Amino acid sequence: MTRVDEIGIGGLGASRRRVEDARFIRGCGNYTDDIKLPGMLHMEVLRSPVAHARIKSIDTSAAWAIPGVRLVLTGEMAAQRNLAWMPTLSYDTQAVLATDKVRFQGQEVACVVADDPYTAKDGCEAIVVEYEQLPAIVNPTQALAPDAPLIRDDKEGQTDNVCYRWEVGDKAGTDRAFARADKVTRLKLHYPRSHPSPIECCGSIANYDPATGKLTVYMTSQAPHIIRAAVALVAELPEHLIRIVSPDIGGGFGNKVPVYPGYVCSILCSILLGKPVKWTEDKSGNLISTGFARDMYFDGELALREDGRILALRFHADTDQGAFFSDAQPSKFKIGLVHSAFACYDIPVGHITARGAYTNKAPGGVAYRCSFRVTEAMFFQERIIAAAAADLGMDPAEFRRVNLVRDDQFPYRTPFGFLTDSGQYRRCLDLGLDAIGYEDFLKDKEEARLRGRRLGIGISTMTEPLGAGNSREYDILGIKMFDSAELRVHPTGKAILRTGAKSQGQGHETTWAQIVSHELGIPAADVVVEEGDTDTAPFGMGTYASRSTPVAGAAVSMVSRKIRAKARKLAAHLLEVSEEDVEWELGRFFVRSAPNRGVTIQECAMAAYGNMPDGLEPGLENNAYYDPPNLTWPFACYLVIVEVDPETGVWDVLRVVAVDDCGVRINPMIVEGQITGGLTEAYAMSNMQFMTFDAEGNCVGSNYLDYLLPTAWETPGFELHEVVTPCPHHPIGAKGVGECAAVGGPAAFVNAVLDALSDTGVRNIDMPLLPDRVWEAITTGRDV
Ligand code: MCN
């Protein structure tokens, strides 16, 4: 593959500095809250202080009486506009504003619109809600108990707290394989609830113009076109009269995929008042009510042969969905892509069952740096793989080497029907082991143990399905999953590119320009990239599940190639030869038999507007929709060395080595940034970042004293390595990467701590591995 950057124009493979950073680090970003429209009013949401209660009455009279208050909206008023319930992007509906009952702490009960945000807050405080508190259910075990009170008594036909049941695989075949096993490893664990907590919270400015009937919504959305479809349903407005604009976004991490009541309320208030209405969520509102992820309980087994081969797998997962089922996920799968777990291992047969439980917690299961429950499943995978190696008395690296899919097995069909198409799994593992000095470490570990020091090493190897796409299998709200790009090359050879993706910090403005540069030879600096405005961007499904490179990035290549095809006609005209005699290299067409006779892409661009051959339309612009034939399957191997202090349970990370294969890297520096961010989250997940609820359903974590995020100070250094196995079906061979380290990383940290405790008989400590839990495990020899 030609690397256009050989001529220094910032093409494929260039570690080009992120162009968007120039405005971000100078404070010149344009976020939703920065936007001020003439006559704009401000909205504040009143949230329930309790997790479960019957609403006896809502008295809004004192709020209406406050000067400057323009509107006090309740669920009853929303119902009059057919807006009592809004679609989640999943199977459920969610109350926009609670009327009969509140079902989680932080649920939206009313909202107030006023001339300024402070008056709107005062208005909320003046609303008197009489609650009759009910017992709260805070975990699936309680919720799924036969005598548990019904949480969703608003749902017709709902007789228990089961949100969904789901099953996949070959049960009979799996049972037969287990009957033949020499050994069976069983592991139960919980992946705790957590929250992506982006710096910028959610927010919107809805601007309904009664004169034209047009609704413009500026909002923090990772998927503006999908939101437009949802808003069309919610607001009962025709889609062509709705414009969603996602300006700069201060981090998404999945938090900004779903539809939230705040968005819907600002839209309704703007329609009712005929004025722009701004809603800016505050930090505790964001932490208490939006974007919760994980909270999943696994109980599973691996059937093993004495020589280390895995014969079969089976597991059951219970997920805590919270009060409403608002997972953002391809609607074919009620539990997302949990069955993509174990895809990197050659396991002949498997069976998975799962249940979702309604509880009195905020809606959970939103895609937080994971594609649809993949993070939790991969964690379980790598934890039970480590436990199985220990049960067999086998080295965990060797156990993986025995079971990883071999290079000559691709394309490889997993027992659950996925087709993984490429990878060098053993090479990545071996590179990681070499880089960390595995054999030497094992000796050091034994010597250290003799001196009373507890060292441990953890490994995690994983592949995951990135690039939610292919219209045959996946859809959201009935809209199939593909993506798009539109490219306009101006007469001087400068260009503007728009896609249906939406960056929240991933650097698309930089990398998409690099793809254009690679395909057309236009310097990357001459390509401006725009995303996020449904009036101008082509239709697309947004950015999550690390789908942008696999799908929108591919569309960028495809549209560039269409432009190149037209430019070739222009070149032939300019060179006065037939098209067949024209060759292409590095931004230039030339005559095959006379390579010195050539024209640049910029000269072709000018010709498109000023010197067209007869019969060719003027202009040099086009669009492309890309429907990927398969997901992309990156691979990664993460290794972590820790030292555990047996006196206190405190553990320190001594080294982290990562080997990532995400195919061809468009911008290696950006890829490394993604891996560094993901590993930071993985580290945090393993020891500090978790959200708990007390027995009454109060969220313990609605501020940063209780909900801990890592800072640069405590984050360890990461040693990053690369392997490149091009994706066979992506036009430039790239695979997604944005989530890999966050998905695969946590198990490496936990496996390392458990390895340091290998002589204690402890098989599992649930995350977070806080010092007191580690200490308890050491001192009792029991799982915690
Ligand atoms: N890239 C590349 N070469 C590859 C793969 C990717 O150069 N082979 C580049 C891409 O061009 C893009 C970045 O790496 O600039 C991430 O690409 P990709 O893996 O396609 O992921 P997306 O752009 O679709 O981003 C989504 C992913 C997810 S799912 C979450 S959650 C997440 C993440 O990315 N949220 C983020 N990374 C984040 N990074 C920031 N700064 N902020 C977030 O909210």
Measure 498 CA to ligand 1 centroid, in angstroms: 17
Helix, strand or coil for residue 59? Answer: strand
Question: Which ligand 1 atom minimizes the distance to the CA of 544?
Answer: 29
pLDDT band of 4, cuts 50, 70, 90: very low
Q: Quote the CA–CA distance of 443 and 397 in Å, as a whole number.
A: 15
Question: Which residues touch 359 (CB under 8 Å, ≥6 apart)?
Answer: 137, 138, 139, 140, 142, 143, 151, 161, 320, 321, 322, 323
Domain covering 4-28+483-626, topology: Aldehyde Oxidoreductase; domain 4 (3.30.365)
Structure confidence at residue 409 (pLDDT): 98
Question: Which ligand 1 atom minimizes the distance to the CA of 505?
Answer: 41
Q: Among residues 374, 342, 352, which one has the least CA distance to residue 466?
A: 374
Q: Quote the CA–CA distance of 336 and 376 in Å, as a whole number.
A: 11
Measure 713 CA to ligand 1 centroid, in angstroms: 24
What mean pLDDT is predicted for residues 595-617? 96
Helix (H) or strand (E) holding 575: helix 554-575
pLDDT band of 95, cuts 50, 70, 90: confident
Residue pointed to by tokens 């004495």: 306
Question: Which ligand 1 atom minimizes the distance to the CA of 256?
Answer: 44
Q: What are phi and psi of 141, to 5 degrees?
A: -60, -45
To 5 degrees, how large is the angle CA 290–CA 294–CA 295? 100
Measure 674 CA to ligand 1 centroid, in angstroms: 6
Closest residue to atom 12 of ligand 1, CA basis: 506
Amino acid in the structure at residue 628: P
Q: How far is CA 16 from CA 11, 214, 495, 765, in A?
A: 8, 40, 18, 42
Q: How far is CA 335 from CA 345, 374, 453, 489, 709, in A?
A: 21, 10, 42, 43, 27
Question: 228-237, 329-338, 550-559, 764-773 — which is least confidently predicted?
Answer: 329-338
pLDDT band of 234, cuts 50, 70, 90: confident
Q: Which two tokens stand for residue 662?
A: 């995400």
- 352 contacts 337 by C-beta, under 8 angstroms: no
What mean pLDDT is predicted for residues 213-217? 96
Residue pointed to by tokens 């503007």: 496
Question: Which residues touch 409 (CB under 8 Å, ≥6 apart)?
Answer: 346
Structure confidence at residue 5 (pLDDT): 58
Question: Which ligand 1 atom minimizes the distance to the CA of 735?
Answer: 8
Average pLDDT, the chain: 94
pLDDT reading at 3 higher than 90: no
Higher pLDDT residue, 309 or 255? Answer: 309
Measure 48 CA to ligand 1 centroid, in angstroms: 35
- Maximum average pLDDT range among 52-56, 336-340, 689-693, 699-703: 52-56
Structure confidence at residue 7 (pLDDT): 61
Closest residue to atom 14 of ligand 1, CA basis: 671
Amino acid in the structure at residue 106: G
To 5 degrees, how large is the angle CA 70–CA 75–CA 77? 55
What mean pLDDT is predicted for residues 435-456? 96
Q: Quote the CA–CA distance of 379 and 385 in Å, as a whole number.
A: 10
Instruction: Please classify residue 413 by burial: count the beta carbons closer than 10 Å to its beta carbon, then call 0-12 exposed, 13-18 middle and 19+ buried.
Output: exposed
Q: Among residues 506, 562, 545, which one has the least CA distance to residue 529?
A: 506
Instruction: Please classify residue 389 by burial: count the beta carbons closer than 10 Å to its beta carbon, then call 0-12 exposed, 13-18 middle and 19+ buried.
Output: buried
Closest residue to atom 22 of ligand 1, CA basis: 546
Q: Among residues 291, 260, 323, which one has the least CA distance to residue 50?
A: 323
- 497 contacts 538 by C-beta, under 8 angstroms: no
Question: 305-362: per-residue pLDDT in tens?
Answer: 999 999 999 999 999 999 998 765 555 677 788 999 999 999 999 999 999 999 999 9
Measure 132 CA to ligand 1 centroid, in angstroms: 46
State in words which class domain 293-468+630-780 has.
alpha beta
Question: Which residues touch 543 (CB under 8 Å, ≥6 apart)?
Answer: 222, 223, 252, 501, 502, 503, 504, 506, 508, 552
Question: 26-30, 367-371, 454-458, 764-768 — which is least confidently predicted?
Answer: 367-371
Whole-number percent of the chain with pLDDT over 70: 98
Structure confidence at residue 586 (pLDDT): 82
Instruction: Compute how many other C-beta atoms are within 10 angstroms of the C-beta atom of residue 2.
Output: 14
Q: Among residues 297, 199, 289, 296, which one has the least CA distance to residue 253?
A: 199
What mean pLDDT is predicted for residues 745-774? 97
Torsional sign, CA 764, 768, 770, 772? negative
Alpha carbon distance, N-terminus to C-terminus of the chain? 51
Q: Quote the CA–CA distance of 60 and 64 in Å, as a whole number.
A: 6
DSSP assignment string, 483-550: EEEEEEE-TTS-EEEEES---SSS-HHHHHHHHHHHHH---GGGEEEEESBTTTSPP---S-TT-III
Q: Which two tokens stand for residue 392?
A: 């067999």
pLDDT reading at 756 higher than 70: yes
Structure confidence at residue 212 (pLDDT): 95
Structure confidence at residue 90 (pLDDT): 65
Question: 15-19, 337-341, 379-383, 717-721 — which is least confidently predicted?
Answer: 337-341
Closest residue to atom 4 of ligand 1, CA basis: 665
Q: Quote the CA–CA distance of 58 and 397 in Å, as a whole number.
A: 61
pLDDT band of 473, cuts 50, 70, 90: confident
| Ligand 1 mutation pick, 31, 464, 506, 685, max ligand atoms within 8 A of CB | 506
Measure 737 CA to ligand 1 centroid, in angstroms: 6
Residues listed for the chain: 784
Q: Quote the CA–CA distance of 509 and 34 in Å, as a whole number.
A: 20
What mean pLDDT is predicted for residues 55-78? 97
Question: Which residues touch 683 (CB under 8 Å, ≥6 apart)?
Answer: 653, 656, 710, 715, 716, 745, 749
Is the domain defined by 32-134+201-249+256-289 classed in CATH 3.40.50.300? no
pLDDT reading at 1 higher than 70: no
Helix (H) or strand (E) holding 778: helix 771-780
How do the domains of the chain map onto residue ranges? Answer: 4-28+483-626, 32-134+201-249+256-289, 293-468+630-780
Angle formed by the axes of helices 438-450 and 425-436, nearest 10°:
50
What mean pLDDT is predicted for residues 112-131? 98
Question: Which ligand 1 atom minimizes the distance to the CA of 196?
Answer: 31
Residue pointed to by tokens 């691996």: 302
Q: Among residues 492, 540, 487, which one has the least CA distance to residue 515?
A: 487
Q: Quote the CA–CA distance of 506 and 537 in Å, as a whole number.
A: 18
Q: Among residues 731, 236, 692, which one has the least CA distance to residue 518?
A: 731
Amino acid in the structure at residue 731: P
Beta bridge partners of 485: 499, 624
- 14 contacts 514 by C-beta, under 8 angstroms: yes
- Maximum average pLDDT range among 255-269, 284-298, 367-381, 549-563: 549-563
Helix, strand or coil for residue 99? Answer: coil
List, by residue number, the catalytic residues: 222, 369-370, 739
Higher pLDDT residue, 85 or 262? Answer: 262
Instruction: Compute how many other C-beta atoms are within 10 angstroms of the C-beta atom of residue 480.
Output: 15
Give the pocket of ligand 1 (CB within 6 Å).
Answer: 251-254, 369, 504-508, 511, 543-549, 553, 662-667, 670-671, 674, 677, 734-739
Structure confidence at residue 91 (pLDDT): 67
